Structure 1
Amino acid sequence: MTEQPKIFVAGHRGMVGSAIMRTLRAQGQDNIVTRTHAELDLTDQAAVRAFMQTERPNQVYLAAAKVGGIHANNTYPAEFIYANLMMEANVIHEAFTAGVKQLLLLGSSCIYPKLAPQPMMESALLTGTLEPTNEPYAIAKIAGIKLCESYNRQYGASHGIDYRSVMPTNLYGPGDNYHPENSHVIPAMLRRFHMAKLEGAPSVAIWGTGTPRREFLYVDDMAAASVHVMNLDKSIYDTHTSPMQSHLNVGYGEDLTIAALAELVRRVVGYQGAIVFDTSKPDGTPRKLMDSTRLASLGWRAQVPLEDGLRHAYADFVRNTSTASN
């Protein structure tokens, strides 16, 4: 029997990290190392060094990040850029010094310019101005990509390391953040329609005109893509990337309008009232769709249809959110 690799999942309690844990365990992996934030502060270089030197994993999934919505990014830009830069620098560098050969960084579609051509290709990186509201977070994620690329360029041949990056579209699913102010669009809608159903509200207001188009990916699909990319043979991976552009987009492959999304969420929640659009609120970017052609050519496509994923996410919300039973 082939010995299982020792795998460190950084951020295993987060939405993406916990989905990666589910995927690995479903595939029979049980040699998995985890640490909570209380046990290991990834912004502490000495602590990360001691951990890596002691554990010496074979693979590292860097799913840990400080994340939040527009309000949080606008309010705490220093915390977002500092924490994410430090986590990436510490984990990637100390993984290298401990002899870790395989690492996968999980990023975000916000790395692309605000006005990038649609659908967004990997080549759009660093071709224009970022969205101002989350620029600090995006800069940190871009730095993470370039850290991986730089270590590969300098040490790949001599040390046999292979550090990769994946950039997901908008994610949703079990373990999402349903905070009233800091959540993203799907968890915010699930919460709003659910509360309206409980309260018997005649309508639910959605920001903007409902015409912007967005793409959404179920988090367990993202986890499956991450494990797929981690385990791709290097010769195959390298034929679809380059040393200066090594990241891969991970998307569902289709988008829909915010109005259509609201209608889907209403049906999933079972809300009977009306949907109204508050056109005094901003729409944001007209369209955000990832070009995931490269990943598809490497043998992976999303499996969970949006409505099915929304039903799983809503069940998770009802099961785990205290306000759901109030």
Structure 2
Amino acid sequence: MAGMIYNEILDFVDDQKADMPGLALALLREIKYFVRDKWSTTDLAESEFNPSPRHPQLPIALPQLEAIAQKQPLCLYSGVFGHTIRYGAIQLQTIPCPPCGLESTPPWFKTVSAVPPGEILTRTQPIQHSDVPRRIRTKKPSKMYKPTHITYEEDGLRENFYSDHPWELARPRVILEQDGKDGQKCDWSNIQQPARELNGESVIQRQLWLLKNKPGMTSAKAYDQARHEFYAIRHQEDVERRVAKEEALATGAYFGKSMLEIGMELEDKTYESWKAWAKTEVEVIEQQRSAQYTGTELVEEAAVEGAGDEATETAAVL
């Protein structure tokens, strides 16, 4: 910025054909007075400018101008008569020298040059916010700390089987395992295993074995085959259980009341309790209905009888 101002001064001097050294020094010193940024005397001393090719007799560096200015203080008005220079926000207007003969720098110049203002003194324009509503986009939470969803191949098969057979979950099961991989140690070419009880997990493992070992086997076909084998074995177990019970009863065994008999007794007991409650409710309703017609008359008769008794007692006292 300083070099550009210096070149502008040289062009102005060339156009006016005035006292070139005196005019250049005066204008440079006045620019130092009015610039409002961090342009101190030290910064100016370290800046070098290109001389004008038309005036080689002018100093080529600002330190030389400063040395001349310190030895021979020049007045701002020397050699200049009524000219104006504009450079950005700086406006300098030269007038004839007054009789006071001001030939020295102002007393505040060194202080302001050594300690420049901390910020620009001009007031900035506040930011104009638009009234247009802006759509706020919420960022989805990161999945970095979300645990991964662990799935197994048997999960879908279990969901399908137990949705069709919910009562299989009500059967007691032995959940004791050795290492959690007991199902992988069995040969599921047959659904019935000698060391395992038949349950829904047997159907799932049998279906999985059919899918992996039978070519062209679909999930639906494997499920139907494993399910039919499961039904056949369960039917066989029910027949064996029923025959064993009949044989025991034939030999004189007594197993107590059956589930059907126990259920009938509970139903009869509940029915009798409901019957007693219904009789009580009917009696209460009948009493309320009869009181709607006789309740007022009974109150009036009681009031008349009470008044007669009071009159009898009063006569006896007199």
**Into which bin does the TM-score normalised by the smaller protein fall?**
under 0.3
Q: Which has the higher strand share?
A: 1
Between 1 and 2, higher relative CO (CA 8 Å, sep ≥ 6) is seen in 1
TM-score, normalized by length of structure 1?
A: 0.19
Q: Which has the larger radius of gyration?
A: 2
Q: Which has the higher helix share?
A: 2
